[in-house]
Chain A
Amino acid sequence: MTEAALERPDGPQSPARPAKPPPSPLLIGGVLGAVAVTGVAGWAIDFTLTPVIEQWSTLTMILEEVVHPEWAEITDPASRLWTALMETAAIAVIATFVGSLIALGVALLGSKVSAPPGVYRVTKSLMSVIRSLPDMAYALVFVAVVTGPLPGILALTIFNVGIVAKLTAESIDAVDHGPLEALDAAGATRWQRARVAIVPQVLPSYASYVLYVFELNIRASVVLGAVGAGGVGQLIMLYFNRADYPRLAAVVIVIFAAVIAIDLLSQALRRRLV
């Protein structure tokens, strides 16, 4: 096809091709801002990737050890690993149960659908303060009172209340108002409205949030152990400090398998719920 064939006689059907709009100043500003922030952040933490090349032998050595774990740690049901893992599971179960129960109440106080305006504003800002502290900080404070699994349970419970209450409150904000109006017309109290019209509507999504935090808890309890709040994290720090890589590798493999198994299980359950 030649150029001439593509050209069409002038007329109203052949307007000039519209020009591409120039990028908006906001976009340019945003990109420049992101680049600037990245530059400053990289400078602040001395960004470098040279160790990846220089320490390549360290990396291969680590990988070598990870693929040759201490199998006895995994196969022996009486090993420290399984004891710690059971402890982690128990901590996660208790924290999820208690945290989710409290969270349902807090969520009802934290939505404008179910609580008076003053109450819901105060609850909301309180929750955002509680959420902004890492679970680690709670664990560190609680460990000062008593060591062992108890501070871990309490720290995770608070963490769970924060997440489940926020998500559930958002679901409550979005409930169908029909049943609520019907109850209001019949003169229901706040408690009756919550029990009859709100909770049944949000129950499926609430249940799926609970499963979601249960997944998070397994991961988080690994972290909490690192500050002495019990469970498998404590074991990881022990083996790390002893540089016992084969045992550490065994722990990592089991945690990896457990997290994937629980993910799959809770995904299947959640698919049924929602």
Chain B
Amino acid sequence: MTPATATRPKPPPKWPYTVAGLALVGVVLAAGWSLEDARWERLPQFPGAIWQYAAQMVDGVLTWPGAHPDGQADPDLTYGDWWLQALKLMGESVALAWIGTCVGALVSFPLAFLAASNTAPWFVRMPVRTFFNAIRAVPEILLAVIVMLPLFGLNPMAGAMAIGIHSIGSLGKLTLESIEAIDPGPVEAVVASGATWWQRIRTAVIPQLLPETVGFWLYRFEVNIRASAILGVVSAGGIGALLSRVLRGREWEWGGIMLVVIIFVTILVDQISAALRHRILHGADATAVAA
């Protein structure tokens, strides 16, 4: 018998993980304990109540659009009107998210060059990066409430600008990171032939950068559609305002219709955007002929 078979390696000790796990559970329990008005005893009511609300929502969605809902002030109102209104407001949400994304893209793109280590000196880089980080830290809803609503009033422009400003931060960060990750070869080649800063950016950096950046913009558009639904709750445009009013009023049938419209449009835009991003980043498939 050789010594090699006698000593099987010992597994590493497990106690540090146990201690860390217990500490984590302790923190969570302490957090639960600190919420005095959480009313945990109401938790068992949720499944029943949600089931009941969901059933009413499904009812609303499945009812023939020409039918008239009960208990409405306007006797001519049909379910179809609810569908149309939900679609119209969701369209406004999408439009607002698109404009917000455009604002974010147009402002963040030039700024990112002033923030990347290979295109800007440190004394330019630092303030621009701090600016990106600062605006990323302010949630859209705060921007909307504090700056945009007083400025633009209760309309979609306020939401679009809140989304736009917030997007500058996240798009700027993503873009500057991909500027820093470009292949330095082409840049060196243009520098060797005596290119100015501007020529270097235009011919060696931007062409490398563009597909990925456009992908980020599309991704941000998807994120912003979700954000725009939230901004409606503070009346900054889009479907959120009505959704919040309808759900607070417990009009579950109408609420169900609005939620279906939100889900449907969000998934549709995600699919289109994902297909576009794939096409931009990976080019046409082998089956498609390059133009």
A47 touches B99 (CB 8 A): yes
Is B286's beta carbon under 8 Å from chain A? Answer: no
Is B174's beta carbon under 8 Å from chain A? Answer: no
List the B residue with the shortest CB-CB distance to A65.
Answer: B146
Tell me the complex Cα distance, A145–B49, Å.
7
A residues sitting closer than 8 Å to B (CB atoms) are 24-26, 30, 37-38, 40-42, 44-48, 51-52, 55, 58-59, 62, 66, 86-87, 89-91, 93-94, 97, 128-129, 132-137, 140-146, 148-150, 153-154, 219, 222-223, 226-227, 230, 233, 236-237, 240, 248-249, 252, 255-256, 259-260, 263
Chain A neighbourhood of B160, CB < 8 A: 45, 47
Is B45's beta carbon under 8 Å from chain A? Answer: yes
Q: Looking at chain B's contact residues, is the secondary structure mostly helix, strand, loop, or mixed?
A: helix
Tell me the complex Cα distance, A203–B44, Å.
32
Stretch of B4-12, B26-34, B109-117, B183-191 that contacts chain A = B26-34
Indicate which residue in B40, B151, B244, B267 contacts A227 across the interface (CB closer than 8 Å).
Answer: B244
- Counting from the closest, the 5 A-B pairs by CB-CB distance are A41-B95, A45-B156, A90-B31, A24-B291, A140-B247
Q: List 13 A-B contacts (CB under 8 A).
A: A44-B91, A45-B237, A90-B35, A97-B24, A132-B262, A132-B266, A137-B243, A137-B247, A140-B243, A141-B53, A149-B35, A223-B139, A255-B142
- Residues 249-284 (chain B) with a chain A CB within 8 angstroms: 250, 255, 259, 262-263, 266-267, 270, 276, 284
A86 touches B34 (CB 8 A): yes
Chain B neighbourhood of A133, CB < 8 A: 259, 262-263, 266
Tell me the complex Cα distance, A240–B236, Å.
14
Q: Mark B140-153, 1 if CB is under 8 A from A, else 0.
A: 01100111001111
How many A-B residue pairs have C-beta atoms within 8 angstroms? Tell me. 182
Tell me the complex Cα distance, A128–B183, Å.
36
Stretch of B62-70, B121-129, B200-208, B226-234 that contacts chain A = B226-234
Tell me the complex Cα distance, A223–B143, Å.
12
B residues sitting closer than 8 Å to A (CB atoms) are 24, 27-28, 31-32, 34-35, 37-40, 42-43, 45-46, 49-50, 53, 91-92, 94-96, 98-99, 102, 133-134, 137-139, 141-142, 145-147, 150-153, 155-157, 160, 226, 229-230, 233-234, 237, 240, 243-244, 247-248, 250, 255, 259, 262-263, 266-267, 270, 276, 284, 290-291
Indicate which residue in A97, A137, A248 contacts B262 across the interface (CB closer than 8 Å).
Answer: A137
List the A residue with the shortest CB-CB distance to B226.
Answer: A134
Chain A neighbourhood of B157, CB < 8 A: 45-48, 51
Shortest C-beta distance, A245 to chain B (Å), equals 8
Shortest C-beta distance, B67 to chain A (Å), equals 24
B95 touches A44 (CB 8 A): yes
Chain B neighbourhood of A97, CB < 8 A: 24, 28
Indicate which residue in A135, A145, A150, A226 contacts B40 across the interface (CB closer than 8 Å).
Answer: A150
Indicate which residue in A148, A236, A259 contacts B37 across the interface (CB closer than 8 Å).
Answer: A148
List the A residue with the shortest CB-CB distance to B247.
Answer: A140
Tell me the complex Cα distance, A101–B230, Å.
26
B31 touches A226 (CB 8 A): no
Chain B neighbourhood of A62, CB < 8 A: 146-147, 150-151
Indicate which residue in A44, A134, A145 contacts B230 across the interface (CB closer than 8 Å).
Answer: A134
List the B residue with the shortest CB-CB distance to A98.
Answer: B28
Chain B neighbourhood of A86, CB < 8 A: 34
